[in-house]
Structure 1
Amino acid sequence: MELKFVVPEMEQTFGTLEFAGEGKIEQRRINGKPTILSRSYNLYSDVQRADDIFVILPTEAGEKHFEVEDKVKLVNPRITAEGYKIGTRGFTNYILHADDMVKA
């Protein structure tokens, strides 16, 4: 069985989300022209306080312009897992994806 993604219970997992700024833009050359594949954004969570939350949005969602600490809501959020190893130890990165991000 393959784990494709997990749909989080947003209120319990992240609580209230606030916009914290832009992250990285993933680009790739397609037919010799740079094309944006996805954009990531940093969010603050009142439940997950130790680290910022990073969400990846597809290109179709467009570029987002919010003020810092604006309350936001994710459309169709899901979490994927990506495994990697260092030496003989295994680790997992959990990656939050959404179809869009709107003002709450």
Structure 2
Amino acid sequence: MKLKFVIPNMEKTFGNLEYAGEGNVEQRRVNGRLAILSRSYNLYSDIQRADDIVLMLPPEAGEKHFEIEDKVKLVNSRITAEGYKIGNRAFTNYILHADDLVKA
């Protein structure tokens, strides 16, 4: 069985989300032109307080412009797992994806 994604219970997992700023834009050169593959945004959570939450959006969602600490919500959120190893140890990055990010 292959883990494709997990659909989180947003209220229990993240609580209230606030916009914390833009992250990175992943681009690739296609036919000599730069194409955007994804955009990331940082979010604050009142439940997950240790770190900012990094959200990945597809290019179809467009660029987002919010004020810092605006309340936001995710459209069709899901979490994927990405494994990697360092030496003899294995680690997992959990990546939050959504189809869109809108004001709450």
Report the TM-score, using the length of structure 2 for normalisation. Answer: 0.99
Percent of aligned positions that are identical = 79
Residue of structure 2 in register with 1:68 after alignment: 68
Which residue of the partner structure matches residue 13 of structure 1?
Answer: 13
RMSD after superposition: 0.3
Give 2:13's aligned amino acid: T
| Cα deviations by residue, 1:28-70 (Å, 9 ceiling, x for unpaired) | 0000101111100000000000000000000000000000000
Could you tell me which amino acid in structure 1 is paired with residue 28 of structure 2? R
Secondary structure of 1:34's counterpart equals: strand
Structure 2: how far apart are the matches of 1:83 and 1:22?
25
Moved over 6 A (4+): none
Residue deviations 1:60-98 (CA, integer Å, cap 9, x gap): 000000000000000000000000001111000000000
**Structure 1 segment 31-50 matched on structure 2, within 5 A:** 31-50=31-50
Say yes or no: does 1:53 pair with 2:53. yes
Q: 1: distance between equivalents of 2:9 and 2:21? A: 23
Q: Structure 1 residue 6: deviation in Å? A: 0.1
- Asked if 1:95 is matched to 2:95, the reply is yes
Equivalent-residue separation in structure 1 for 2:51 and 2:9 (angstroms): 18
Letter in 2 for 1:28: R
Opposite residue 52 of structure 1, the aligned amino acid is: D
Q: Identify unmatched segments of 5+ residues in structure 2.
A: none
Amino acid at match of 2:92: T
Name stretches of at least 5 consecutive residues in structure 1 with no aligned partner. none
- Match of 1:26, SS? strand
